[in-house]
Amino acid sequence: MTQWEVVVGLIVLLFLQVLAQFRSHGRTQWPVPYRRFDHRPDVDSYCEALYPFCPTGDRDGRITCSQIPEVYAPFWCNQGAACFFDGIDDLHWSQNGTLEKIGEITGDQFNDLAQWIQKDNETGIYYETWSVHSDPGLNATVWFESYDCSQFVHRTYKKLTELGAKLSSRSQTNYTKIYLYSGEPTYLGNDSAIFGQPALKNLAEDIRGFYHTFRPHQSFTDFAISLLEAYKKTERKSMCLFKETHLD
């Protein structure tokens, strides 16, 4: 299962969860602000990655994935995979990217930044791949902002500046931005409402049916069948997806 497929599965329940926090008098605040949490959930051994991706580093054995153990409501593992390396691989970055000094910081600034990164990671526990807009126009309504790797870089630069660091670069920062165009999202209910009320049984079954394709711990044969099912379902859907590269 690729990370892309996992994110497609996660976005359904994330929309429902986040929308629930920002409704007032029947109207939703757009764009929906990113929701921070008090702490990151405990790890679950059920979520350990079967196929870890860390070709040159040491892995921590976890990966973000939507899961369905034997419970009625879908279960989200919410565990990110991390790869650890000993220092900066100068040769790798000189051959495959750009390695450039952009500033200097003091030891105190470094310690403050480390504490901020830990807090940012502990309170920002879900990932948003797409920026979701009503249409491609300049005056489009923004439903959801992305919360991805490039946003972490921007937040880190901002924090370094707040800490007093002087940053400068001769290189352009390149990153990919993905837009999803959609009509106004509709709030369907929270977890307990959808999966706890008989009246919403059909909706609950539809959501479980969607996640069934992405279930973990499948045999190779079952995985191939699930992949084919997902392809057929996606092929029947009408969705406009636009991918654009930005230069800062």
What are the average pLDDT values for consecutive 10-residue runs of the chain, which has 248 residues? 41 48 63 90 68 58 46 64 68 80 93 94 86 94 91 93 93 83 89 87 87 75 84 58 42
Q: How far apart are the first and last CA of the chain?
A: 32
Range of the structural domain that residue 94 is part of: 3-247
Q: How far is residue 237 CA from its own chain's centroid?
A: 22
Q: How many structural domains does the chain have?
A: 1
What is the predicted pLDDT for the residue at 163? Answer: 97
Alpha-carbon distance 195 to 201, whole Å? Answer: 7
Residue linked to tokens 């307990």: 192
Question: pTM of this prediction?
Answer: 0.63
pLDDT of residue 12: 41
Distance (Å, whole) CA 86 – CA 246? 31
| 153-to-91, 131, 201 alpha-carbon distances in Å | 22, 17, 42
